[in-house]
Copies of this chain bind each other. A is one copy, B any other.
Amino acid sequence: MTDTDRGASRDTRQRRAIRAAFEAAGRPLDPNEVLELAAGSHSGLGIATVYRNIKMLLEEGWLTAVELPGEVTHYELAGKAHHHHFHCRACGKVFELNACLPNVQKLAPLGFQVSGHDLLLYGACRDCSCP
């Protein structure tokens, strides 16, 4: 836990391109989307580098994983308030929800200890529900 512990991480061109991709997208991305977006500012970027950087960025808390049923894992910028996601079945986009649930613990059976939860809403987003 000393200063020397994090002396390792280097600021490479590739990592800068990957971070820029997430900042420019403003929505959860999967590794392949990251590769395509980041390749715009650094062609020759390899998918392995994308995966390795995503893992590092997760570990240093810059990214968080967004797991959607039936989809490959997406990632988004961390540091946001606790929130959930809305998946539009029409356009496929994922949106953030501000709302959360009170008292999730009481949804579990007696003896079960709740330490976290995920909530995902499906439906039509504003653009898709008001044609």
Binds B, one of A8-16, A20-28, A29-37, A111-119: A111-119
Copies of the polypeptide in the assembly: 2
Q: Which of A101, A123, A124, A125 has the most CB of B within 10 A?
A: A123
Q: Indicate the size class of the contact surface on chain A.
A: 35 or more
Q: Report chain B residues within 8 Å CB of A119.
A: 101, 107, 117-120
A130–B111 CB distance below 8 A:
yes
Q: Name the residue on B nearest A71 (C-beta).
A: B67
A114–B108 CB distance below 8 A:
no
Q: Which of B109, B110, B111, B126 makes the CB contact (< 8 A) with A97?
A: B109
Q: Report chain B residues within 8 Å CB of A115.
A: 89, 122-124
